[in-house]
Structure 1
Amino acid sequence: MPDKVYPENRKKWPKVVAFDTSGPFVSVGWAFESYSGGNVLNMPRGQAEALLPAIEDTLASCGWTWSEVDVIGVAVGPGNFTGIRIGVSAARGLGLALGIPVFGISQFELAYGTIPVDPGTLVSIPAPRNMAYVRGFGAGGQQACGTGLLIDPGAPPPKLELSAGMRVHGHRAREIAAHAGARGIDEHYAPDAARMAELIEQKYCEADAFPPRPVPDYIKPPDAAPARDQAPAILP
């Protein structure tokens, strides 16, 4: 449930800060009025240490202080398990400390916001090890359907239920679509910090109350496996 209802005099143009650590990068964007910007720092590790300094650099470039930020946005996945936890935890903590709304946004929403697709389209985004994350968009166009899948684009699983009338859009789309005689439109997808902040601003303007706290959208479970060694005895 939403935390609380917006006040009647809420800002028409909020100051938005949004960030994404779901991949081998730290992406931080900002939006205010009709302006937006941001930066993407490529890094295979170290996102936890780099995130807050990157946000503070963004605030400094805008001439903002923490107390001026009206909205926090965070990418909730899918992507790297640890990276998603870093971003979502930071966003929830900042929202609680500042008393401001926090909106989550999935990579599929980010892709849909930059790729014009028709209702009923399967959207594909890149995943590690030459795989792809896929999720369908329903008859309403903007509403994602299902929980999403991690697939091998060269060998889509039967549970994907591809049909000849379906359209696939995004990462290795033609390769995925070819297995069902469907139409595929390849589109490169990469983090876009400014676009992320703009979409969070749009979510804020369309909402009538604080959203629920963001939760991770993992799709893929963590790579870590339980230890095989016998656990040590616990002394009384």
Structure 2
Amino acid sequence: MQDAPVDAPVLGFDTSGGWCSAAVIRGGAVLAHRHVAMSRGQAEALMPLIEEVLAEAGVDLTELAAIGVGIGPGNFTGIRISVSAARGLALALGIPAIGIDRFEALALEAAETLPLVVPALRGQVWVKPADYVSDSAPELHDTPPTPAISDGEGAGNIPPVHPLPVAIARLADARRDTPQPRPAPLYLREPDAAPSSQQPPQMLA
């Protein structure tokens, strides 16, 4: 694989929550950005949305230098959709796929004086302390601190500097020339599922 030009375009996308979002940047400039709210159907919507964003940006898939993908935390199924798509596209195009976690995206160019907040299940939130440049692990809280930087809804929330897919694309662009691990889902807790309470059918001899 040959090195791509410094100003080659980079694609970023995310389906870690109730949305399908994608962006294309080139040399730091945002060429196109789409965010579509949806509670389900991301698997069917992602590739058409990527095609729309690329067309709006005037960029062909073969021109991309890298792909940035959101790895969570967030919806288990949604994260797997994006990570699988990024790996497949990267393999087909011979370019790197770079996983970006949601806290990194929130923190991009933000003031290091406010905590970062990502919604969790059952009304709880994941909180990363104000010193989020460190390796401190996110903590689960029943209520979010305020004020805080968050891409969710709620009083006291301060939006991030960049929309989620734009931040993902920018971070991927900055890392594309250094070795990166394959994107993998970031799960901060086990899947919220329990075994069925129904008795299995009786097996007949």
User: 1:188, 1:35 → 2: CA distance?
Assistant: 20
TM-aligned CA deviation for residue 195 of structure 1: 3.2
Of residues 140, 149, 155, the one that matches 1:170 is: 149
Identity %: 38
| Higher Rg | 1
Query: Over aligned residue pairs, what C-alpha RMSD do you find?
Result: 2.9
TM-score by length of 1: 0.72
TM-aligned CA deviation for residue 16 of structure 1: 0.5
TM-aligned CA deviation for residue 187 of structure 1: 2.0
Q: 1:191 to 1:23 in 2, by over 3 A?
A: farther
Partner of 1:133: 126
Q: Where do residues 106-117 of structure 1 align in structure 2 (5 Å cutoff)? A: 106-117=101-112
Structure 1 residue 226 corresponds to structure 2 residue 195? yes
User: 2:203, 2:65 → 1: CA distance?
Assistant: 49
Please list every run of 5 or more consecutive structure 1 residues that lacks an aligned counterpart in the other structure: 1-5, 157-166, 172-184
Partner of 1:33: 27
Partner of 1:18: 12
Please list every run of 5 or more consecutive structure 2 residues that lacks an aligned counterpart in the other structure: 151-155
Q: 1:35 to 1:153 in 2, by over 3 A?
A: same
The Cα offsets for residues 99-126 of structure 1, whole Å up to 9 and x where unpaired, read as: 11011111100111152114xx642233
The Cα offsets for residues 158-203 of structure 1, whole Å up to 9 and x where unpaired, read as: xxxxxxxxx98435xxxxxxxxxxxxx8523594333332222122
Q: Where do residues 1-236 of structure 1 align in structure 2 (5 Å cutoff)? A: 9-36=3-30, 37-118=32-113, 122-136=115-129, 142-146=133-137, 148-153=138-143, 169-171=148-150, 186-189=157-160, 191-204=163-176, 207-209=177-179, 211-232=180-201
Q: 1:67 to 1:188 in 2, by over 3 A?
A: closer
TM-score by length of 2: 0.82
Q: 1:99 to 1:110 in 2, by over 3 A?
A: same
How many residues get paired? Answer: 198
User: 2:84, 2:95 → 1: CA distance?
Assistant: 15
TM-aligned CA deviation for residue 226 of structure 1: 1.9
